[in-house]
Chain A
Amino acid sequence: MASFEDLSKQVITGNQVKVKEVTQALIDEGSAPLDIINLGLIAGMNIVGSRFKNGEMFVPEVLMAAKSMSAGIEIVKPLIADKDMPSIGKVLLGTVKGDLHDIGKNLVGMMLESGGFTVINMGIDISPEQFIKAVKEHNPDILAMSALLTTTMLHMKDTIELLKEEGLHNKVKVIVGGAPISQDFADEVGADGFAPDAASAVDLCKKLLS
């Protein structure tokens, strides 16, 4: 008989095939779909998260685990009403205008997804106007902006100013990151938060929404 523990274990090892098998078996055996997600899939991912923090697991393993968790969720999803789907929050993510660097931003996106967030990754070279348009369209809980250059990081302030002009700054939390960004800079431009790396960005988002 399939068990939630077994499902968690398969998520931890990042075995997509097994995760799908066990998820299907649990459904067939009559387990509640939400329990499959919360007690099996997400429970496994939570262990992955803490192992990563302790230095016992590494980025590729975390990403494989997240991928296998998503594969399981895809199977359960049709059985749950959209409004009941567990998600900690929605994050809109992008690299600012004039900047094509995105490895760090993509790592943040993947770690957030692993942590249970819904992530809309807009890509690179995103202007303040594009960010605002997407905020209106997707209604995210958090807007996350990335920059690698001291020249492009100036666009973060422009975006926050435009959010204020549009009266959206109370509806969405803004976080910023990238090599030249610091807490002081985040405060100066009026962001709600800054995280020095991808893992702590997940903690930051959780803290901001708690």
Chain B
Amino acid sequence: MTTRSNYKAYASTMMNVFSPAQCQELVYAAEEAMWRTGTDFHDKESLEILKKAGCWVDGKRVRIPAHITERALQTCQKHIVLCNSRTGARELFVEGNNAYFGSGPCTPFTRNPFTNERHRATRQSVGWATKVLDALPNIDYAMSLGIVQDVPLLISDRHEFEQQILNTDKPIITVCVDQWGQEDCIKMAEIVAGGEEELRRNPFICLYAEPISPGVHCREAAQKLVMGAKKGLPTIYTPCIMAGGTAPATMAGVMVQGLCESLSGLVLSQCTREGAPFIMGGVYTILDMGSTIFSYGAPELHLLLAGLADVAHYLNIPMFGTAGCTDSCIIDEQAGIEAALSIAMTNMSGANLNHDTGYSEYGTTSNLDLVVIADEILGMARRLTKGIKVDEETLALDVIEKVGPGGRFGEEEHTKKHMEENYVPRLINRAAREIFEKAGGKTLTQVANEKVRDIINYHEPAPLPKDVAAKIREIVENAVGHMPGEDE
């Protein structure tokens, strides 16, 4: 009937914030800032590595020549795969336009799904959160959704990792308090994988560090990057910057500031070990000028990160984004609006690995009801990006002709065959009013909360072999905390 010539005929949902020329301009501006202004590294080893590589080191200030940045962009590993911790199956292809979603780390507080009490995160709360993440089909990986605080705080990361690995076989992104914590968590992961080589071949953990904006790489962050590169494990580097606070008020200025910090981290990683897998992270948002919060629900967050996805695609490096979170202190209409907008937009932008699903209260309190709601939003968002296929079969002229005016499409084989392409909601309510009322007239949040409780009570994650769990316990029990600022 028709012959189709190019991708435009087949591609459906597409979204771009920046043109390729704008991406190029942003990257050049970041390279300029990295050289003209530079960034500060509060870590001796990193300073030596960067100096040896040819960067201009002046005290803590490091100015990176553009050719070193450009070389780092060439050498970093582009193809990053995260695996199942029990089977080693290669599951998340963190590259290209693939978009995966999961929770966020490090909230000091969480809301108890049974009592609705807001309290400091505990071993139990992280265990519960991981179980919920494990059970939800649209959640692809796990971050802790809380800093364990019912244990000595300096070794909370080991307890967090133990709770995570016991309760899910999905990939884990681990955020450690410092390099010593990261060393222990890698050890635990190597035990689970069956050795250092095995973990590197099929990594199920991803490491995480962040600079302090504007332009400061603290010792812990730099050390975590260096260790990740030496170990050859995927490492995310995430500037959390706010327009008008730690970056210029203009969105393009935010992009430059963020890229400057991310790419400085990339250079450190590549100068430590060429080819190290590096994931460019970002929580770019605004400083709310009324409340002074770092906003997790502002439209600028979604816009900036969709823009960053364009730059990541332009540079062909994997990206770590942010979605499914809210500034609202409870899971209400505002939470739903902010989570839905961010998930839909992020999914369309094609950012690869997206975190912070389940964050409420501008990132300070995790909420499992929101995780369950986000899982449903993700299903809807993924339906949106599947788009609409246009070809002879889907144009369905023959069916239109066969049924004719006044006919019934419901009885057609064509209808049965294609019905499944549409999204089937599990949480969203489309029931008739009487049926909705008979079922208790519950809000979406109430239904989500019931599901959370159900998962915690009845879901059984794939178990970790007993001997492996025992070895992990041993590392947790023998962990030694280091007081920040006292090991220089």
Please list the residues of chain A having a beta carbon within 8 angstroms of any beta carbon in chain B.
Answer: 55, 58-60, 97-101, 103-104, 107, 125, 127, 149-152, 154-155, 179-180, 182, 197-199
Contact A150 B153 (CB under 8 A): yes
Please list the residues of chain B having a beta carbon within 8 angstroms of any beta carbon in chain A.
Answer: 42, 108-109, 120, 147, 149, 153-154, 156, 177-178, 212-213, 216, 218, 242, 244-246, 287, 289-293, 364, 483-486
The 3 closest A-B pairs by CB, nearest first: A98-B484, A98-B485, A58-B289
Which residues of B sit under 8 angstroms from A59, Cβ to Cβ? 244, 287, 289-290, 292
Contact A149 B156 (CB under 8 A): no
Contact A58 B290 (CB under 8 A): yes
Q: List 21 A-B contacts (CB under 8 A).
A: A58-B290, A59-B244, A59-B290, A59-B292, A98-B483, A100-B212, A100-B216, A100-B218, A103-B242, A150-B149, A150-B177, A151-B153, A151-B177, A151-B178, A152-B485, A154-B483, A155-B484, A155-B485, A179-B364, A180-B108, A182-B108
- Centre residue among A107, A127, A182 by max chain B CB count within 10 A: A182
Nearest CB of chain A from residue B225's CB, rounded to whole Å: 16
Nearest CB of chain B from residue A120's CB, rounded to whole Å: 21
Contact B153 A154 (CB under 8 A): yes
- Centre residue among A55, A127, A179 by max chain B CB count within 10 A: A179
Contact B216 A103 (CB under 8 A): no
Nearest CB of chain A from residue B233's CB, rounded to whole Å: 22
Question: What is the bound-complex CA distance between A152 and B156, given in angstroms?
Answer: 13
Contact A103 B245 (CB under 8 A): yes
Q: Is the interface of B mostly helix, strand, loop or mixed?
A: loop
Q: Name the residue on A nearest B484 (C-beta).
A: A98
Which residues of B sit under 8 angstroms from A55, Cβ to Cβ? 290
Question: What is the bound-complex CA distance between A194 and B156, given in angstroms?
Answer: 24
Nearest CB of chain B from residue A15's CB, rounded to whole Å: 19
The one of B149, B153, B244, B291 in contact with A197, judged by C-beta atoms closer than 8 angstroms, is B291
Question: What is the bound-complex CA distance between A101 and B483, given in angstroms?
Answer: 16
The one of A99, A149, A197 in contact with B292, judged by C-beta atoms closer than 8 angstroms, is A197
Which residues of B sit under 8 angstroms from A179, Cβ to Cβ? 108, 364
Contact A99 B484 (CB under 8 A): yes
Contact A100 B42 (CB under 8 A): yes
Q: Name the residue on A nearest B362 (C-beta).
A: A179
The one of B212, B293, B484 in contact with A97, judged by C-beta atoms closer than 8 angstroms, is B484
Which residues of A sit under 8 angstroms from B483, Cβ to Cβ? 98, 151, 154-155
Nearest CB of chain B from residue A27's CB, rounded to whole Å: 34
Contact B290 A103 (CB under 8 A): no
Nearest CB of chain A from residue B286's CB, rounded to whole Å: 11
